[in-house]
Chains A and B, each alone.
Chain A
Amino acid sequence: MRGHEPLIALRRQGLRPVMAQIEVSDIEPLCLRDWQHNAGIPVVHIEPTDSLSSLDLRFVVGLVVHVTGESESRVKAVFRACKAAEASRVWAGITRTQIVAGSPVGEVLELLDSEAQ
């Protein structure tokens, strides 16, 4: 997992972002080290090698969290883990990216909302 440390440092200073984005992906997110290009929303990257049961997601406590990724089982596991870590609300999107006419096209296959469950 990468990108969580600046968020933890921010919260240790008594500050919080409006929301956090967690990408469950084998590709490093574009704004991982550069929040201002993501409207100031911190991005956390959970890599395929990360063991989900060992991740410490306490940094999401009280935050609205948006989880995305292509692996249904891993996105759902992170969704459950964020709820268990007491995020105020969790959205999760299981996505698929296809190359159409040479360009990547994203599609949301399933959307989960902690308030709808």
Chain B
Amino acid sequence: MNKLNIITPDEIDFSAYLRETEPKQRVKPAAEYVAELIERLGRPVVNPGQPLPWAKARPYFRFRPGEVTLWAGVNGHGKSLMTGFVSLDLLAARQRVCIASFEMKPHSTIGRMLRQWCGYSPDEFQGHPEGIRAMRDLYEQFGGATDKHLWFYDQQGSVSSDQMVSVARYCAKELGIQHLFIDSLMKCVRGTDDYNAQKNFVDELTAIARDYSTHIHLVHHIRKLENELKKPDKTDVKGAGEITDMVDNVLLVWRNKSDETTRKPVDPDAALICCKQRHGEWEGGINLWFDRASQQYLEASGAATIDFAQRFA
């Protein structure tokens, strides 16, 4: 039987061809772009990105494909808890998510997400077989709902920036990950004062996000503020100043550390402050209230928690 030659020697020296045609490929008349903008008129925006989990913030902010969002906050202000909550909301929107946390093991991260999913801590049901059975059902539902959508990069401690860049590329290219969470920048770049390494790492991440149309969420710290009650701003972000210049969005997580016993219900437990959004007009803050049982951030004092089990269904 004759064999079909599906791969044959190429008569074109392709590498040379790419080199020779590079200038022509990159320098284009504006008319090409204008023609595309005309063609897009009247069409709905395709995949404008994913909104924040809270209804009141939905019109104002999007996690767009091809962008990098910097999540910054003071140590202990709930950055990882909030990014876990946001990733759960992204999963509910059937996005493919990968979490690279170098401080928390996948079990711990999943455990916290499960609590946000169920609305309860499993500890509350110790000694109650029916409660444990109900929790087991919810856990199994979670496993089914996140199958092929939630991934973890299982590496504790620190990682080299080159290795993290390879992982980011693999996730985007091979797994089709749409949201990669890296927690945190300081675990990928050694030396808090190595500004060039920080800059190069963030530069690589922005290139990967753009080339593969994925969204990278990068967690970072801000300087210890003189007064923790003060809300931070962009200039408080640690490290190279270019980090906030290079990323597309900057979200600051702030926790209200004032005395909880004297706080009024209208006073928020936390705030998410958007101080940069390259492709959106809105910058500002949204107040949030923390529900201890579910570990969810709510958009109003006493608001109902999100029923993720129903949203995944």
**A residues lining the B interface (CB < 8 Å):** 2, 5, 8, 10-12, 14-18, 26, 28, 33, 39-41, 47-53, 56, 58, 61-62, 73, 77
Whether A16 contacts B7 by the Cβ 8 Å rule is yes
* Residues of chain B from 1 to 46 with CB closer than 8 A to chain A in the complex: 4-15, 17-18, 21, 25, 28, 32-33, 35-36, 39, 46
Apart from A15-B7, A18-B6, A40-B7, what 19 extra A-B contacts exist at CB < 8 Å?
A2-B173, A2-B176, A10-B7, A12-B14, A12-B15, A15-B9, A16-B9, A16-B10, A16-B12, A17-B7, A26-B46, A28-B176, A33-B174, A48-B47, A53-B28, A53-B33, A56-B25, A58-B25, A62-B10
Q: Mark B212-256, 1 if CB is under 8 A from A, else 0.
A: 110000000000000000000000000000000000000000000
**B residues lining the A interface (CB < 8 Å):** 4-15, 17-18, 21, 25, 28, 32-33, 35-36, 39, 46-47, 65-66, 173-174, 176, 212-213
**In the complex, the 9 A-B pairs of residues with the closest C-beta atoms, listed nearest first:** A40-B6, A48-B46, A11-B14, A16-B10, A53-B32, A53-B36, A49-B47, A53-B33, A62-B12
| CA–CA, A49 and B214, complex, Å | 11
Whether A47 contacts B213 by the Cβ 8 Å rule is yes
Whether A77 contacts B7 by the Cβ 8 Å rule is no
| CA–CA, A58 and B25, complex, Å | 8
Given contacts A49-B46, A49-B213, A53-B36, contact A58 B18 (CB under 8 A): yes
A–B pairs, 30, beta carbons within 8 Å: A2-B212, A10-B7, A11-B10, A11-B12, A12-B15, A15-B7, A15-B8, A15-B10, A16-B7, A16-B9, A16-B12, A17-B6, A17-B7, A18-B5, A18-B6, A18-B8, A26-B46, A28-B176, A39-B6, A48-B46, A48-B47, A49-B66, A51-B33, A51-B36, A53-B33, A58-B17, A61-B12, A62-B10, A62-B11, A62-B12
Residue of B nearest to A16 (CB): B10
Given contacts A58-B21, A73-B39, A77-B39, contact A50 B213 (CB under 8 A): yes
Q: Which of B10, B14, B18 has the most CB of A within 10 A?
A: B14
| CA–CA, A5 and B13, complex, Å | 17
Residues of A within 8 A of B5 (CB): 18
Residue of A nearest to B173 (CB): A5
Residues of B within 8 A of A56 (CB): 25
Residue of A nearest to B176 (CB): A28
Q: Which of B7, B11, B33 has the most CB of A within 10 A?
A: B7
Residues of B within 8 A of A26 (CB): 46
Chain B nearest Cβ from A81, distance in angstroms: 10
